[in-house]
Structures are given as structure tokens and as C-alpha cells.
Amino acid sequence: MSEMRIVLFGAGGYGDVYVQSLLKDHCRENYVLAGVVDPYIDRAPGREALRQAGVPVFDTPEAFYREHAADLAVIATPIPLHEEQACFALEQGSHVLLEKPIAATAEAGRRIAQKARECGRVLAVGFQWCYDRAMLELKADFDAGRLGAPLDVRALVLWPRDFAYYGRGTGWAGKKRDAQGREIYDSVASNATAHYLENMLWLTGREFQGAAITDFACETWRANDIETYDTAVLLAQLDNGAKLTYVVSHAVEPGEMQNPVFEYRFEKGVARFGGLGQTGSELTFTFEDGQVKRYGVTHPDSREKIWTMMDVLREGAKLPCPAEAALRHADAIEKMRERRPEAYVFRNIARNSERVWVPGLGAKLIRCYKERMLLSQAGEERV
């Protein structure tokens, strides 16, 4: 492949990360941004940079492919468009880098994966921790047997979100379906904190295939007036024998914010990132004899996905986040939705002009994380 031709679907929101990377960063050589597909380009932060670079803009994928070809399609559009746009790009001969989650449902994700196989094209999904250097080194040590079997993996993320968060864009946040009836199922677990659930499954699975949930209990809750949920606790058993604990919320008080923290216990020691009351940066593994391996700072670079995908296509590098890994996350989210089709509503909700929150929720969720219990078992009351 000489000059790699890239088309970007979606230049606003997260798509702007790709606009800035492809126009300014140039961490790889010999590629061209052949076009952008975005009917709302006037709202995109990078619209002027695209204009100055002479990048043509199209309203639809069909319009782009009528005039151009692309080796790689990067899809950063809203979730309801993932299946249709990914399958169309694959049919046009493009490899695809698809932002997370792979789709609104596991079934839709499997249809995309099947289309990629039929078309003989590479399909990558943008769970950015899968592309992080430090995380990949830890994964390599696990795959080589240096950590032993996984025993207990836990993650906690408490990120308060305000009304502006749920009102952004076209108003899809927290919705089950869009105005056209297309599935979204946007939630705290499928979107903002999706990386941390996916990481536990990805890291402890065989190679880059991910681990699967075999048994679980879960609760989903909401304080915000949304259709899905802003708080979740998942307690699961994995097919690799490990227990999984995943505790996340957008409904805690701002002062209770907790950036991602995880503790993964293996036969030979414990992997840690962050800590309670801390902001994580360094990834470490403490062996049973007290020795510590430091993998360095892990701060997933959103841009690394595009450069890795180029290396995969040009050099045959190993793809760290194939569809199979992303589907483990999709399956987990779907299991939670089937078990709890409607979220519990918190009884005690406080509010001001900017947000709602649940007083004392953070402390209860930390207890859920530490003691591996559901929120109702920690004493939270619902309507």
C-alpha cells in the first residue's frame, strides 16, 4: 500500500480527535485524508482546518464513494449509525476503524463482524486502552503466563455529569432509541466508562479475544431523567474462573468524583491502576514476593488507534482490539439490559440548576467496590 487514503465519518464531537490527528499530528507518513462525511460540518470544531487543507466534505457515505475510494474508513458517528455505515464502507472495499461501542446491540455488532469477514477486510474497534503501550505490555505478560490465572478483577469510576452532558449533540445521551426508532441504549456502562468494563474482559481473555461472562448479578439505577441509567453495579463470574466487579456512576456529588481505579488479582500478584482518592497514572504489578514491575504511565492516547490501524494494514501488525474483543463488552451490556430492562430510580435525589445527584452515593458505591455487593445491599433505597 503506497499512499493510504482515509475517509472520516463524523467530524464533530469525538470525531474532532481524528480531524486534529490526521491534519496536525502526522505520527505516520504517506497518507491522505481523502474526505469527511458529515451533514453537520458547520458545527464541527475543525471545519476551518479541513477547509484550509482542501479536504472535501460530503453529506453521506454514498456521496463520498461515488467520487472517491478509501483504504480505511474511520467511523466516529453516533451509535445508531454504526452498523449501517460500517457495513457500507466494508462493502466499498475499505477497512474500518469503528469507535466504541461496536454497536447498540450485540446482534448488530455481530452483523458488522460478519460483513468484515465476507468482504475480507480488517475491522478494529476504538477501545483506546487496548492500544496503550503500558496496557499492552501488561497484557503480553498475562498471555505469557507471568501473572498466573486471573482471580478477581475490579474497577470503579465515579464521574459526576451535569444536565449539559445529557443535552449535548442531538440529544441522544441516555436514550434507548433515536427519533427514527433506531437503537442507541446509551448509558454510563456503554459509553463513558465502557473502557473499564471492556478492559477487564480484554486483559484476562485469550490473546485479544476477551473473556466472557458466565454468571452475574447486576443493578442499574438513575437519578437523571433519562431512559437508561446513570449508575451500575455488575458482579460477574468469567469463563476464565475470575470474579469481576464493576461499579460506575454519573450521579455522585461533584466532591465524590473518583477517577478510574482498578485492582486485578492474579495467582502471582496484583495489577493496580490509581487508587481511592487518587488520579491514576502509573500501571504496576506487585508480585507475591513484594517485587514491583512498573509498566509506566498509562494515559490512553485517543490518537494511537489510528496509527496502530495504519501499522496493521501496512505491516501486518497484530490488531489489539478486533470485533471479538468489543463483542465481549456488547454481550455484557446486553446481559445487564435483559436482566434489568428498567433502571431503579433513586429515592433520595438532590438538585440545583446544573445537575442532580444522590447524597452519600459515592461512599456506598465504594463499599460495593470493596466488599463486592450490589447497591441495594449497601443500603440504597429506590422509589
Tell whether domain 4-128 is in CATH 3.30.70.1710. Answer: no
Domain segments of the chain: what residues?
Answer: 4-128, 132-300+322-378
Q: How far apart are CA 149 and CA 265, in angstroms?
A: 9
Residue 261 pairs in a beta bridge with: 156
Interval 359-382 mean pLDDT: 98
CA–CA gap between residue 35 and residue 75 (Å, rounded):
12
Q: Is the pLDDT of residue 89 over 70?
A: yes
Looking only at the bridges linking them, the beta strands covering 72-75 and 95-98 are parallel
Region 58-72: mean pLDDT is 97
- Write the pLDDT tens digit of every residue in 11-34: 998 899 999 999 998 889 899 999
- Mind listing the pLDDT tens digit for each residue in 248-294? 999 999 999 999 999 999 999 999 999 998 877 899 999 999 999 99
C-alpha cell at 100: 466504541
Measured CA to CA, the distance from residue 78 to residue 152 in angstroms comes to 34
Say yes or no to pLDDT of 1 above 70.
Answer: no
Please tell me the predicted confidence (pLDDT) of residue 300.
Answer: 64
308 phi and psi angles, rounded to 5 deg:
-65, -40
Which CATH architecture describes the domain 132-300+322-378? Answer: 2-Layer Sandwich (3.30)
pLDDT above 90: percentage of residues in the chain: 92
